[in-house]
């Protein structure tokens, strides 16, 4: 009666409730993708149908139209306090960054502006350890310094679900409630819970998006998986990494580490 | 549609621990490669990255993602990676072996079901091999597999394998930690990981992959007593929902719950769930739940809900085995924030009882606990805490210590020798009404010529409490005082004849003495109590019973002196193991921090001690002229 997805879910709900109790003001980044939508679903479970935390989208204006349509429908149906933060334009980004990383840097800047302006002490994020090797090293409660930087060389100890909840003035914490889930876990959970998703994840004409990002730097993969069951079957067989279609991960050996150290999700 | 979520076997979380450079990351990288678990392109990426650094293929780069880790070829932080084998998912947790990064090792290992301890065949068992093993044990891991790595460097020698594996096995045995197996491997070459090595035909045991198959996830603790630490109370709508995660046991609608430490009870009216077809009637260990109660009793974060038949221990003193992670040492008298389950409390370090050398397992007295050391310390909280012995219930028997912003230590609770204070704090009668006395304390004092007082002697057995009490009593009596001694002889025979010498009974004994002494003092007597009363909390309670009239007198003598005197032969019996929980030998004595008076029977003649005490009492019970306060 008690299975492994419930175990993962129970842990996520525990983390969400810890964050909600300990950190204020608190916001959550909702990228409208499969991971943060599953997380939003668990927010509703944790708070018994309510969404007591604002959902934040870092908008570059470059998402696919299906993403915006989906967002507006969910915001209306689930009664969400939605904050759309427009990110600064690409021209203002560090020109030494490779081009695709500049889009990520825009989001980082948008997030920093938002945190500064609205004085958030905690931001919930739907990143997972299995996505990317620097994310694999993350803590569940991960402190950021005054500039939003991640000091990955000196992370706080974290054990027995006793999270870091004390911070100097002006700093904030990133909270990662689905760090322990894998891509497959997320899809199995979608299937089990019947959570709505952006239709771009499902194959049409032999192509689907495995990971959703800006339209200029994210590419669909070849796939026949037109239902969630088929996605699961596809992923159980594949060895291609999830973010293969994300240009920014592959521009240089350390591009992702640099992005994350300076405050990217 | 297939039922996807029941089809999967529970994943197993394994931490790889051991000394720096003994090859943990390499072992993991190679294991992933040999089980075909690396994503496409990863192998090519590793080759490229290794070549760029002028190294042979470096398996550890699979995990060591940071530039700094790759440049220095050392794991800085713990990481996790998934792989599939034996029809289940494994989560591999890599724990850094360098002593600089012990906090990261702990962060990784605390999440694991089982551990693989990696030891270098050439170097043998080293400092961090032992320290890691010790911490694995402290963190509660009970399944440890040992691999002796780099067998290629010792010519695949069976003798060397026997030597190193014997050494680590002996150490673990001393810790009380059993090994599930020891395997000779060469991670770089893939020997005995997923494929049997052709170089070690003398080894006939399982290879790593087979041994991993035999490890099991930690069982869900549903058979232990219910513990539901409260996380929060929600009032989003008309419901008042109390939320938390069930750490152990089972909770059902209709159960009467006891909330500790305040001991209020109520019945579970519902288990709330959003989007559930049928509302649940039962919830189990591991589940994050929300419940409503039949009565609106006061419940807050930090409380622990249990069934009243198996309640947690209540105490304001806790003895813990801690691992210290901070640069600033732990010192007696320092204050920290304690986090235990969902509770926070300010605590002070009362004593450092033993600093443990993880290399030899020897304990020594210490004034400070330094970074990466392990020690037994006694902590005192300003409020009552609900908790369990770690051995009884890990989730409510372990804590973290926080110094301002930083988590500085973790510890497991070991309450041996300390009583449960639950019984002592409850007023059982509910129909008690205070009867007002027509006589004031002042009137009694003027009649007697002195104020009433509780002169509370505390000290080790053999320190001279009874001897001094009798001499002081006679001196005061001769001066015309109303004075009486309470001691074991006159209290244990009657009032407390129902009590034994268990820690709980001893605490109750002292509680009653404190209450009786307070009554004597109100009646105008100077009452001298002569009990070891080893626990500060008990003496504080006695003080509470007679707040303005209580005087703590520490009768001090060194333990060695007391043991030599041994007037009743008790030390001898305690040393022989005939008396359990004997103060100073097998149970702690908490010396008073700030007694009103201290006399030292070791260094002062007995007459001086008597005079000192009598002088003190004379001043303390001196009558003040009604206008004295305003006149001065």
Across the interface, whether the CB atoms of A188 and B66 are under 8 A apart is answered no
Q: Looking at the complex, report in whole angstroms how far the Cα of residue A61 sits from the nearest Cα belonging to chain B.
A: 32
- A50 in any annotated domain: yes
Angle between helix B465-478 and B606-620 (nearest 10) = 60
Low-confidence ranges of chain B (pLDDT < 50): 1-6, 427-432, 626-632
Residues 6+ apart with CB under 8 A from B219: none
Give the number of other Cβ atoms within 10 Å of residue B159's Cβ: 10
Whole-number pLDDT of residue A103 = 81
Q: Tell me whether the CATH fold assigned to B228-310 matches the one assigned to B439-620.
A: no
Query: To which residue do tokens 């990002």 refer?
Result: A213
Residue B409 structure tokens: 């230590």
Whole-number pLDDT of residue A202 = 95
DSSP A201-234: GS-BTTEE-SS---TTTB--EE----SHHHHHHH
- A237 in any annotated domain: no
DSSP B242-263: EEEE--BSEEETT-EEEEETTT
Q: Rounded distance, CA A242 to CA B40, Å?
A: 10
Peptide bond into A25 cis (omega under 30): yes
- A226 in any annotated domain: no
Query: To which residue do tokens 């427009």 refer?
Result: A86
Q: Find out whether B138 and B321 touch, Cβ atoms under 8 Å.
A: yes
Q: Rounded distance, CA A26 to CA A52, Å?
A: 9
Residue B406 structure tokens: 């930083």
Across the interface, whether the CB atoms of A130 and B82 are under 8 A apart is answered yes
Across the interface, whether the CB atoms of A130 and B79 are under 8 A apart is answered no
Task: Output b/e per residue, B514-553; b: 16+ Cβ within 10 A.
Answer: bebbbebbbebbbbbbbbbbbbbbbbebbbebbeebbbbb
Domain count for chain A, please give it. 1
Nearest to B87 by CA among B150, B145, B160, B9: B9
Q: For the sheet with A26-29, list strands across it.
A: A82-86, A55-59, A26-29, A122-124, A172-175, A141-144
Task: Output b/e per residue, B562-576; b: 16+ Cβ within 10 A.
Answer: bbebbeeebbeebee
Nearest to B222 by CA among B162, B159, B286: B286
Residues 6+ apart with CB under 8 A from A117: none
Q: Looking at the complex, report in whole angstroms how far the Cα of residue B313 sits from the nearest Cα belonging to chain A.
A: 20
Please give the class, per CATH, of domain B439-620.
alpha beta
Whole-number pLDDT of residue A137 = 87
Chain A residue numbers touching B245 (CB-CB < 8 A): 10, 14
Whole-number pLDDT of residue B3 = 41
Q: Looking at the complex, report in whole angstroms how far the Cα of residue A47 sits from the nearest Cα belonging to chain B.
A: 8
Does B71 touch chain A if contact means CB atoms closer than 8 Å? no
- A112 in any annotated domain: yes
pLDDT band at A1 (very low <50, low <70, confident <90, very high): very low
R_g of chain B, CA atoms, integer Å = 31
Does B5 touch chain A if contact means CB atoms closer than 8 Å? yes
H/E stretch holding A133 reads none
Window 103-142 of B: residues touching A by CB (8 A cutoff) are 103-104, 106-107, 110-111, 139
CATH number for the domain that contains residue A144: 3.40.50.620
Nearest to B424 by CA among B351, B346, B319, B503: B503
Q: Rounded distance, CA A41 to CA B275, Å?
A: 10
Q: Rounded distance, CA B350 to CA B501, Å?
A: 24
Q: Looking at the complex, report in whole angstroms how far the Cα of residue A147 sits from the nearest Cα belonging to chain B.
A: 18
Whole-number pLDDT of residue B627 = 42
This model of the complex carries an ipTM of 0.93
Percentage of chain A surpassing pLDDT 70? 98
Please give the class, per CATH, of domain B315-416.
mainly beta
Q: Rounded distance, CA B532 to CA B465, Å?
A: 8
Does B286 touch chain A if contact means CB atoms closer than 8 Å? yes
Window 347-376 of B: residues touching A by CB (8 A cutoff) are none
Q: Find out whether B585 and B577 touch, Cβ atoms under 8 Å.
A: no
Chain B residue numbers touching A10 (CB-CB < 8 A): 245, 286-288
Whole-number pLDDT of residue B424 = 58
Q: Looking at the complex, report in whole angstroms how far the Cα of residue B284 sits from the nearest Cα belonging to chain A.
A: 9
Phi-psi region of B54 (alpha: psi -120 to 50; beta: other; left: phi over 0): left
Q: Kindly list the distances between the CA atom of residue B2 and the CA atoms of A44, A61, B386, in Å, as whole numbers in the listed order.
A: 26, 40, 45
Q: Rounded distance, CA A134 to CA A146, Å?
A: 21
Chain B residue numbers touching A7 (CB-CB < 8 A): 10, 286
Chain B residue numbers touching A48 (CB-CB < 8 A): 234, 236-237, 239, 241, 272, 274, 290
Q: Find out whether B589 and B534 touch, Cβ atoms under 8 Å.
A: yes
What is the CATH T-level fold of the domain B228-310, as seen in this structure? Elongation Factor Tu (Ef-tu); domain 3 (2.40.30)
Test the B interface: residue of A1, A5, A7, A17 with most B CBs within 10 Å: A17
Nearest CB neighbour to A2, from listed B11, B91, B286: B286
Across the interface, whether the CB atoms of A241 and B39 are under 8 A apart is answered yes
Q: Rounded distance, CA B270 to CA B366, Å?
A: 52
Whole-number pLDDT of residue B518 = 94
E strands within B473-519? Answer: 483-487
Sign of the CA dihedral with B627 first, then B628, B629, and B632 last: positive
Residue B408 structure tokens: 């500085």
R_g of chain A, CA atoms, integer Å = 18
Whole-number pLDDT of residue A197 = 96
Q: Give the model confidence (pLDDT) of A101-123 as tens digits.
A: 888 889 989 999 999 899 999 99
- A10 in any annotated domain: yes
Does B501 touch chain A if contact means CB atoms closer than 8 Å? no
Does B66 touch chain A if contact means CB atoms closer than 8 Å? yes
Does B243 touch chain A if contact means CB atoms closer than 8 Å? yes
Region A155-167 average pLDDT: 93
Peptide bond into B261 cis (omega under 30): yes
Nearest to B501 by CA among B442, B578, B401: B578
- A113 in any annotated domain: yes
Across the interface, whether the CB atoms of A159 and B400 are under 8 A apart is answered yes
Across the interface, whether the CB atoms of B67 and A45 are under 8 A apart is answered no
Nearest to A83 by CA among A26, A133, A137: A26
Q: Rounded distance, CA A132 to CA A135, Å?
A: 5
Residue length of chain A? 265
In terms of Cβ atoms closer than 10 Å to its own Cβ (0-12, 13-18, 19+), residue A42 is buried
Domain span at A166: 4-181
Q: Rounded distance, CA B232 to CA B235, Å?
A: 10
Whole-number pLDDT of residue B630 = 36
- Per DSSP, helices labelled H in B148-275 are 158-175, 208-213
Q: Kindly list the distances between the CA atom of residue B229 and the CA atoms of A42, B244, B314, B605, B610, in Å, as whole numbers in the listed order.
A: 21, 6, 14, 54, 52
Q: Does domain B8-213 have CATH number 2.60.40.10?
A: no
For chain B, the structural domain boundaries read: 8-213, 228-310, 315-416, 439-620
Across the interface, whether the CB atoms of A160 and B406 are under 8 A apart is answered no
């Amino acid at each position: 009666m008690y299975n492994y997805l419930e175990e993962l879910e129970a842990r996520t709900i525990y983390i969400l409730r810890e964050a909600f109790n300990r950190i204020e003001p608190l916001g959550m980044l909702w990228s409208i993708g499969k991971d943060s939508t599953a997380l939003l679903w668990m927010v509703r479970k944790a708070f018994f149908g309510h969404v007591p935390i604002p959902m934040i989208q870092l908008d570059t204006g470059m998402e696919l139209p299906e993403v915006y349509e989906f967002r507006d429908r969910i915001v209306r149906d689930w009664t969400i306090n939605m904050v759309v933060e427009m990110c600064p334009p690409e021209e203002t980004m560090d020109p030494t960054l490779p081009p695709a990383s500049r889009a990520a840097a825009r989001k980082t800047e948008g997030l920093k502006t938002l945190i500064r302006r609205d004085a958030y002490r905690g931001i919930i994020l739907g990143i997972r350890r299995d996505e990317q090797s620097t994310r694999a090293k993350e803590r569940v409660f991960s402190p950021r310094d005054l500039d939003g930087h991640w000091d990955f060389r000196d992370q706080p100890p974290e054990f027995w679900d006793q999270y870091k909840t004390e911070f100097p003035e002006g700093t904030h914490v990133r909270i990662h409630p689905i760090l322990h889930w894998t891509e497959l876990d997320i899809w199995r959970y979608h299937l089990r819970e019947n959570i709505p998703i952006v239709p771009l994840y499902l194959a049409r004409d032999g192509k689907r998006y495995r990971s959703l990002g800006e339209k200029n730097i994210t590419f669909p993969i070849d796939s026949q998986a037109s239902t969630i069951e088929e996605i699961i079957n596809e992923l159980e067989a594949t060895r291609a990494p999830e973010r293969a279609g994300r240009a920014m991960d592959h521009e240089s050996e350390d591009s992702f580490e640099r992005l994350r150290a300076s405050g990217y999700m | 549609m297939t039922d996807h979520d029941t089809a999967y076997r529970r994943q197993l979380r394994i931490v790889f621990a051991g000394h720096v450079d003994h090859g943990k990351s390499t072992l993991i990288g190679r294991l992933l490669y040999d089980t075909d678990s690396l994503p496409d392109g990863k192998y090519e990426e590793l080759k490229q990255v290794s070549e760029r650094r002028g190294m042979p293929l470096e398996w550890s780069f699979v995990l060591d993602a940071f530039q700094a880790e790759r440049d220095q070829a050392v794991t800085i932080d713990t990481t996790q990676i998934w792989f599939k084998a034996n029809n289940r998912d494994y989560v591999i947790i890599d724990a850094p072996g360098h002593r600089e990064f012990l906090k990261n090792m702990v962060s990784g290992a605390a999440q694991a079901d089982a551990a693989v301890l990696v030891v270098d065949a050439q170097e043998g068992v080293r400092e961090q091999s032992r320290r890691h093993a010790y911490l694995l044990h402290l963190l509660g891991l009970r399944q440890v597999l040992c691999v002796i790595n780099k067998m290629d460097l010792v010519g695949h020698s069976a003798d060397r394998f026997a030597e190193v594996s014997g050494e680590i096995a002996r150490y673990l045995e001393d810790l009380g930690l059993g090994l599930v197996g020891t395997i000779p491997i060469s991670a770089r070459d893939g020997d005995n990981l997923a494929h049997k090595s052709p170089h070690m035909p003398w080894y006939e045991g399982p290879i790593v992959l087979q041994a991993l198959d035999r490890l099991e996830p930690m069982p869900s603790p549903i058979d232990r007593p219910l513990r539901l630490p409260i996380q929060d109370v929600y009032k989003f709508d008309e419901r008042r929902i109390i939320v938390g995660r069930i750490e152990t046991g089972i909770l059902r609608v209709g159960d009467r719950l006891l909330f500790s430490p305040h001991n209020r009870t109520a019945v579970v009216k519902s288990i709330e769930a959003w989007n559930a077809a049928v509302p649940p009637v039962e919830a189990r260990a591991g589940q994050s739940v929300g419940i409503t109660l039949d009565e609106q009793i006061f419940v807050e974060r930090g409380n622990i809900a249990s069934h009243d038949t198996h309640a947690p221990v209540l105490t304001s003193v806790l003895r813990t085995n801690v691992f210290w992670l901070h640069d600033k040492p732990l010192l007696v008298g320092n204050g920290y924030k304690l986090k235990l389950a969902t509770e926070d409390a300010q605590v002070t370090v009362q004593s450092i009882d033993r600093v443990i050398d993880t290399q030899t397992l020897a304990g020594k007295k210490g004034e400070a606990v330094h970074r990466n050391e392990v020690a037994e310390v006694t902590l005192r909280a300003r409020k009552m805490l609900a908790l369990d012995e770690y051995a009884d219930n890990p989730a409510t028997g372990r804590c973290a210590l926080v110094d301002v912003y930083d988590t500085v230590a973790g510890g497991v609770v070991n309450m041996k020798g300390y009583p449960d204070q639950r019984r002592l704090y409850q007023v059982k009668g509910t129909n008690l009404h205070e009867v007002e006395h027509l006589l004031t304390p002042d009137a009694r004092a003027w009649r007697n010529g002195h104020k009433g007082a509780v002169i509370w002697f505390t000290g080790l057995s053999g320190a001279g409490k009874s001897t001094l009490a009798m001499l002081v009593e006679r001196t005061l009596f001769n001066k015309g005082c109303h004075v009486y001694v309470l001691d074991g002889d006159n209290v244990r025979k009657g009032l407390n004849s129902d009590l034994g010498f268990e820690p709980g009974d001893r605490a109750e004994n002292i509680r009653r003495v404190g209450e009786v002494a307070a009554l004597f003092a109100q009646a105008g007597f100077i009452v001298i109590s002569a009990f070891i009363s080893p626990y500060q909390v008990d003496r504080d309670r006695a003080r509470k019973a007679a707040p303005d009239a209580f005087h703590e007198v520490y009768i001090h003598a060194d333990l060695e002196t007391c043991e030599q005197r041994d007037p009743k032969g008790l030390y001898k019996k305690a040393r022989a193991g005939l008396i359990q929980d004997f103060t100073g030998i097998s149970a702690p004595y908490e010396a008073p921090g700030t007694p009103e008076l201290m006399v030292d029977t070791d260094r002062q003649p007995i007459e001086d001690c008597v005079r000192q005490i009598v002088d003190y009492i004379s001043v303390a019970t001196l009558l003040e002229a009604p206008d004295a306060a305003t006149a001065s």
